[in-house]
Amino acid sequence: MERTAAFIQDVECYSANNYHPLPIVIEKGEGVWVHDVEGKKYLDMLSAYSALNQGHRHPKIIGALVEQAGKITLTSRAFHNETMGRFLKKLCQMTGFEKALPMNTGAEAVETALKAARKWGLVKKGVPENQGEIIVCDNNFHGRTVTIVSFSTEEQYRYGFGPYTPGFISVPFGDGDALEKAITKNTVAILAEPIQGEGGVLVPPEGYLAKMRQLATLHNVLMMLDEIQTGLGRTGKLFAYQYEEAKPDVLLLGKALGGGVYPVSAMLSANHVMDVFGPGDHGSTFGGNPLGSAVGQAALEVLEEENLVEKAFTLGQYFREGLEKIQSPLVAEIRGKGLLIGVEIKQEHGKARPFCERLMELGLLCKETHDYTIRFAPPLTITKEEIDWSLEQIAKVLK
């Protein structure tokens, strides 16, 4: 374990102390498997928080990356490049939206949507300038910028980072009546995750997204869904909102859009929302760059060609049924959709991290979220046999 200790020592010496990773140093990966610097093999059940839906180093995505890197990687948006248009055409046709604005990280996509909603409220809805309100949900996680943490309800995410950006109203997640009561004449948008991943894999009551869609239409408010973690097949549908046919006005994507090899994100919307932006209103030096666009297109093609959305639905059901059969007295609840699954540990049995550490020792990598929940989110390329193996290891720990 000397190599592991040496690498971790460098991080602890020179890195900001802003993460608490498991004590493993990963050296290489392929598909659903990774190896550490000691040569031990692990099944990755986190997928870099769902950024690796297509698996580690998918050959088609790596091929697109290498081919494009051999031509040109960055032009900025001062000039056109040959890959961005093709990528955005594929993205819009696959998702059913009219326009896409490419960015890099999920938080950037969220910030883009917040700006779009505020300007839309001013120029399209007629809300007085600087009076627009955006409704968000308690326990949300949309990123780490100052504006985004301003509407977080998690004190740790906020403490010390004020003064906070105003203009946000928070209501309980999954409560349609509270959402309705919060809407005013100055409301310009509702921003929500269809499943709160960081919040503990919290699934709202059936009909919640449909009611959100109904209220947004009734009150001329933009419905904006953050599917950065739930999107692109993770929940067994291309998008989680499709379980209720509650198509939003604005859809936010990231993580798996970059195929696990490059940061690519996007805001998607109808023309009437996107056209509030004119040249100079918003942008990004790296957004829509040739390398990211080539990778993004390949990432979308892999989802289609390998039927990963359908696999996530079928295998997710199989995995959840396997977890239920363990019948562990330590477990309070198992929840999720597709291959996004949370196993909540009863508080009297302690926090989830020791369970994650034990699973790591058995060759399975996962991570706790919100103290008591173990999140399982393997690449969508996982097989039934690999799920069976993982269930054996999970049973050892939960029993």
Positions annotated as catalytic residues are: 141, 226, 255
Give 18's Cβ-side CA count (13 Å radius): 5
Nearest C-alpha neighbor of 395 from the set 365, 368, 358: 358
Burial label, 74 (beta-carbon count in 10 A; 0-12, 13-18, 19+): exposed
Please give the order of strands across the beta sheet that includes 265-269.
99-103, 265-269, 250-253, 222-226, 187-192, 133-137, 168-171
Q: Which helix (H) or strand (E) holds 298?
A: helix 290-305
Measured distance CA(149)–CA(158) in Å, rounded: 6
Q: Identify whether the C-beta of residue 358 lies closer than 8 Å to the C-beta of residue 323.
A: no
Burial call 279-318: b when 16+ CB within 10 Å, e when fewer: eeebebebbbbbbbbbbbbbbbbbbeebebbebbbebbee
The C-alpha angle 211, 218, 210, rounded to 5 degrees, equals 15
- Pinpoint the alpha helices (H) of 205-288: 208-218, 271-274
Q: Identify whether the C-beta of residue 374 lies closer than 8 Å to the C-beta of residue 356.
A: yes
Place of tokens 């928070």: 170
Q: Are strands 33-36 and 26-30 parallel, antiparallel or unpaired?
A: antiparallel
